[in-house]
Amino acid sequence: MSSCPFLALSERLRLTGRKKPIPLTQSAKAFFQLLQSEKEAPTIAASRIQQAQAQITKSGTYQLTLPELTYGCRLAWRNSVRCVGRFFWSKLDVLDQRHASTEEDIYHGCLQHLKHATHHGDIRSTVTVFPPADSKGRGPRIWNYQLSRYAGYRINKKQILGDPAEADFTDLCLHLGWIPPKKRTPFDLLPIVISLPEKKPRLFPPPKKVTQEVSIRHPDSPCLNSLRLRWVALPVVSNMKLEIGGISFPAAPFSGWYMETEIGTRNFADENRYNLLPDVARRLRLDTSRPSTLWKDRALVELNRAVLHSFQKAGVRIIDHHSASASHLRFEQDESKKGRSVRGLWDWLIPPLSGSTSPLWNRSYDPTEYSPNFLTQKSPY
């Protein structure tokens, strides 16, 4: 280990490529040292490290104070190599639900997250933190990829009504006893599935009352109206774990606001999702006889225009991919002024529409992940 304190601290906080877990005492110490090194962080008493280590010795773990948890969550967002929206990291709202003890508590915490974060369309970046994992890594889990997503019903081996990305989870919900609407549509909200350690998963009703949806209409003509498209206003990723100071929170739903390409380019246009480009092109009367007419490109732009227009008309916060790239550049500049480097995954930061027009296109990034962070975890099903 290097004799340089900063490098030693960075080594202890690094997550990517690590073969052995870091002892909890070391992770806690590194986290508190990180807080002590940042002006924006809450004040940490000199005795805090010793206090945490004493708690670990006695009980095998320690508890973060609310200011420590709040700043740790914000650091986790700041360290998220896949996120292009990190300019707003210091504004993250943190809802502390570590006291939740039952599946019902967690379900109501999820509903509260949706209500708080949606904020009638004036969306607030939010994370809700449920109880941490125990010493064996077991903790509460939310089985949904996102709190509000649409079902994918298998009609036959090749045809799915709704979102193909949710077909397996829809099968699971049906197996657990979910009764979908009598008249199924491509946009039926899925139930929420929650489990506690050593217990079977429990099914809870779709969060209809607290899920705002936006009807998608084209700004210039009614050409898309017959598709009856809509999408949820708020993306709440609920299948990742939050790691702060060596403590793992396997249920920590996190949300910002949409970039329009997430809906228009990926959810709607990907061939393995709703695959709408052929339908959009027909309604726009584009020549689809050969690829060189660029009908896919033209349909894709118009679909993204429709998403932006519809969200803006509905008063729901959304950002276009050009503005998102510019905000990430401002984030990089702010971090550079504070002597901090920015890490990222290039293919996640470049928008899936007109990528070469992004100011991030010619930049390179170190993809190493550091703690605190939001991390992928093994699916429970």
Which among 68, 262, 302, 369 is annotated as catalytic?
Answer: 262
Quick one: average pLDDT of 180-199?
Answer: 97
Question: What distance in Å separates the CA atoms of residue 315 and residue 310, rounded to the nearest whole number?
Answer: 9
Q: 223 catalytic, yes or no? A: no
Q: 141 catalytic, yes or no? A: no
Q: 4 catalytic, yes or no? A: no
* Element (DSSP H or E) covering residue 43: none
Q: Strand, coil or helix: what is 14?
A: strand
The answer to whether residue 2 scores a pLDDT higher than 60 is: no
Quick one: average pLDDT of 12-39?
Answer: 86
The answer to whether residue 114 scores a pLDDT higher than 60 is: yes
Indicate the domain borders of the chain. Answer: 1-62
Quick one: average pLDDT of 156-173?
Answer: 96
Summary mean pLDDT of the chain: 94
Question: What distance in Å separates the CA atoms of residue 142 and residue 191, rounded to the nearest whole number?
Answer: 11
Q: 369 catalytic, yes or no? A: no
Which among 74, 86, 141, 149 is annotated as catalytic?
Answer: 86
Question: What distance in Å separates the CA atoms of residue 272 and residue 286, rounded to the nearest whole number?
Answer: 22
What is the CB neighbour count within 10 angstroms for residue 263? 26
Per-residue pLDDT reduced to its tens digit, 330-381: 999 999 999 999 999 999 999 999 999 999 999 999 999 999 999 999 999 9
Which among 243, 257, 317, 369 is annotated as catalytic?
Answer: 257
Taking the model in full, what pTM does it have? 0.94
Of 183, 180, 185, nearest in space to 169 by CA: 180
